[in-house]
Amino acid sequence: MSYGNISDPLELQALLDSILSLVGEPDLNSALKQVVKSATHLSGAKYGALGVLNETKDELSDFITYGLSDEQVKSIKKLPTRHGILGVMITELRPVRISSIASDDRSEGFPKNHPAMNSFLGVPILLSGSAFGNLYLADKNDDTDFNESDEKLLVAFAKAAGTIIEKARLHDRIKRLSLIEDRERIARSLHDNVIQRLFAIGIKMQSKISKIEPESIRDLFEDSVNEIDVVIHDIRKTIFAIDQQSLLTGRDILNEIDKIIEDFETGSTINFAVTHSGNLNRIMDGAIFDHVVCIAREAITNAVKHADAQNINVSVLLSDFIELTVTDDGIGFDGSVDYTGNGLKNIKSRANLTEGELSIEKVNPKGASVMFKVATNEF
């Protein structure tokens, strides 16, 4: 029996025990920490680390270490980049095993306060054939080099990490689907049961009002019927809000921006760049989402058609608010001027409708920036 070309019974048992221990971890971060710890122990390494790439794969969004003290991690401050030796695993999608980090031509050195390390072994973490991050080790405890057996072991752990990440993503998607189903069920229940019953009670009460004496009691009945109408109106508003939330679930703001950019990329020499930060899985009000997408389209369209720009950058920050910024290096403008073009009119109109913050400014030495910020109104 073998796994990933590992045939030694003791290594197989140790690998199996370590991977099985990951099943009980409560969350993704805990599981990935256990991956790093187990891989470091079983390979006899002093240091281990796991880096997770951001969406644009130009830097790390998360970094987990083993073998370094909390004080050492805090003193280093700067996360490793995807350049140098670490970049080889991402760009070439293959393991890297070297005897001396300092002597390797691809090495870019260590950041300040980083402990000295000599031998190195790293492998990419792949999801659907694309690099998601990397898992790597440094310095064997017996001061020997990492060997082929160590590499096979680390590849197996990288596959386990990929499986864990895929499972976490699937779990997140299931939770979101469950959320939309719950919202739709609540909306149906409010409409089919609560509103109809309230409406029936109101009609019944209204039919008796003319026969009620004395007048003070009749007035009380009329007030109650009016109050029922108000409650029905409020419930219908709630149902509409729930529907807006349900419609949004599963939509990706970055995907919408990519679609906008694709419309202009064909036959264009403009360079587009999209950056993001925050929780892009956050569920926000459907109307807010639509306004943000439309403002992004108007801002990008203006930069392409009127600014004579060579570079357009789109930035998205998503937390309890969403902040969209579109910056270009075109001819620019004086921000004090009251522009009357339909594009800027639409942007300002949508910003006013959402009560969001809007700024349209000149960028030095040239270009313009449109920034829109609004609460996501998450339920």
* Secondary structure, 3-state, the chain: CCECCECCHHHHHHHHHHHHHHHCCCCHHHHHHHHHHHHHHHHCEEEEEEEEECCCCCCEEEEEEECCCHHHHHHHCCCCCCCHHHHHHHHHCCCEEECCCCCCCCCCCCCCCCCCCCCEEEEEEEECCEEEEEEEEEEECCCCCCCHHHHHHHHHHHHHHHHHHHHHHHHHHHHHHHHHHHHHHHHHHHHHHHHHHHHHHHHHHHHHHHHCCCHHHHHHHHHHHHHHHHHHHHHHHHHHHHHHHHHHCCCCHHHHHHHHHHHHHCCCCCEEEEEEEECCCCCCCHHHHHHHHHHHHHHHHHHHHHCCCCEEEEEEEECCEEEEEEEECCCCCCCCCCCCCHHHHHHHHHHHHHCCEEEEEECCCCCEEEEEEEECCCC
If 0-12 CB within 10 Å is exposed, 13-18 middle and 19+ buried, where does residue 135 land? buried
Which of 234, 242, 240 shows the shortest CA–CA distance to 183?
A: 242
CA proximity to 138, closest of 153, 121, 157, 113: 121
Cα–Cα distance measured from residue 314 to residue 107, given in angstroms and rounded to the nearest whole number: 32
Is CATH 3.30.450.40 the right assignment for the domain spanning 9-172? yes
**Alpha-carbon distance 16 to 13, whole Å?**
5
**Per-residue model confidence (pLDDT) at position 254:** 84
pLDDT in tens, the chain (379 residues): 444 455 555 655 566 666 655 555 557 788 888 889 988 988 899 999 998 877 666 677 778 899 988 888 888 766 666 667 887 887 888 899 999 888 888 877 777 888 889 999 999 998 877 788 899 999 999 989 999 989 988 998 888 888 887 777 777 777 766 666 676 677 777 766 777 778 778 787 877 777 777 877 878 878 887 888 777 777 776 666 665 555 554 467 888 888 888 878 776 789 999 988 877 666 666 678 878 888 998 899 888 888 888 999 999 988 778 899 999 998 876 544 344 456 777 788 888 888 889 999 888 878 899 999 998 764 3
What pLDDT is attached to residue 19?
Answer: 61
Give the separation between CA 295 and CA 351, rounded to whole angstroms. Answer: 8
CA–CA gap between residue 64 and residue 32 (Å, rounded): 8
Torsions phi, psi for 231 (to 5 deg): -65, -45
What does residue 362 show for φ and ψ, rounded to 5 degrees? -75, 145
Query: What architecture is domain 253-375?
Result: 2-Layer Sandwich (3.30)
pLDDT given for residue 339 in this prediction: 44
Q: Can you list the pairs that 30-33 forms with residues at least 24 positions away whose Cβ atoms lie under 8 Å?
A: 31/164, 31/168, 32/64, 32/161, 32/164, 32/165, 33/64, 33/66
Cβ atoms of 254 and 274 within 8 Å: the answer is yes
User: Which of 194, 311, 332 minimizes the C-alpha distance to 261?
Assistant: 311
Q: Please, what is the end-to-end C-alpha distance for the chain in angstroms?
A: 52
Q: Do domains 9-172 and 253-375 have the same CATH topology?
A: no
What does pTM read for this prediction? 0.51
User: Residue 213: what pLDDT?
Assistant: 77
User: CB 39: neighbour CB atoms within 10 A?
Assistant: 29
- The reported pLDDT for the residue numbered 315 is 92
Domain ranges of the chain: 9-172, 173-248, 253-375
In angstroms, rounded to a whole number, what is the distance separating the alpha carbons of residues 369 and 299? Answer: 9
Q: What is the C-alpha separation between 285 and 312, in angstroms, rounded?
A: 27
